Amino acid sequence: MERLGIISGTIALRERGLLPAPEEKWIETEFGSALVLVAANIAFLPRHGGDPKRHILPHLINHPANMMALKSLGVREVIGINSTGSLRLKHKPGTLLVPDDFIMLNPGPTVFSSRPMHITPTLSQEVRERWLDAAHACVIDVVNGGIYWQTTGPRFETKAEIMLMSQAADLAGMTMASEAIVARELDMGYGSLCSVDNYAHGLEDQELTMEKIRWRARRNAEAIVQIVKSYIERRGR
């Protein structure tokens, strides 16, 4: 069976027993090196690096190297776990959502440099359905569909920016669209399970801080681990 690629960041899965005796590998690619934890049927990529003291900020993540490293390990299917801010009051912190489209207005990463390529970015419907089936098997509520708007980071958005974004999207984040675009360029299926860890700036009166986001992400972690385990088990049948 082909390896399943898993990418996660703020919601740490490395210590959650998903990888039995993984081997740490630095994979060299034409775009740079990437750290991957490799097990028999899983290749897990820590989005922000393996050293918490050297956290890779969102705008500095080398998405082409990460995705090329996964592909070199035989990965053809990638699932991302992404921390997000809600652009809508109905999607409260604690919500889990499987998006079906995204917006990214800045150029973003690409593996193409020397020849024109015209690829329509998409999220894999097959991977989306597997996410939803895995959550259903765990009896965990997950919202089916939504629009993810990717900003550059690493700063949070202004209230005016959030007001504009909320007219077209449901969630805000800094990584998912980049991963989806490069995965598509490399002919890998990609789908995301988004953890709503905060209301976006201006949707509530409280100050938005990384400490609050991490606290809420940890509260969602157990449900996410259950869904990921279900995803892996169902894929292996």
Please report the DSSP string for 81-98 in residue order: EEEEEESSTTS-TT-EEE
Q: State the Rg of the chain over Cα.
A: 17
Task: Name the pTM for this structure.
Answer: 0.91
Distances 127 to 76, 120, 122, 133 between C-alpha atoms, Å: 11, 17, 11, 10
Which long-range contacts does 216-222 make (Cβ < 8 Å, 24+ apart)?
216/93, 216/94, 217/10, 217/11, 217/83, 218/11, 219/94, 220/11, 220/94, 220/96, 220/195, 220/196, 221/11, 221/12, 221/13, 221/16
Task: Find the domain containing 14 and state its range.
Answer: 4-235
- Express each pLDDT in 81-100 by its tens digit: 999 999 999 999 999 999 99
Kindly state the DSSP code that residue 56 receives in the 8-state scheme: P
Give the per-residue pLDDT at 116: 59
- CATH number of the domain to which 187 belongs: 3.40.50.1580
Pick 39 or 160 by higher pLDDT: 160
Span 148-160, average pLDDT: 93
Give the per-residue pLDDT at 12: 60
Give the per-residue pLDDT at 1: 65
Span 136-158, average pLDDT: 95
Kindly state the DSSP code that residue 187 receives in the 8-state scheme: T
Give the per-residue pLDDT at 115: 66
What does pLDDT average to over the chain?
A: 90
The total number of structural domains that make up the chain? 1
Cβ burial, residue 125 (10 Å; 0-12/13-18/19+): exposed
- Express each pLDDT in 54-88 by its tens digit: 889 999 999 999 999 999 999 999 999 999 999 99
Give the per-residue pLDDT at 14: 60
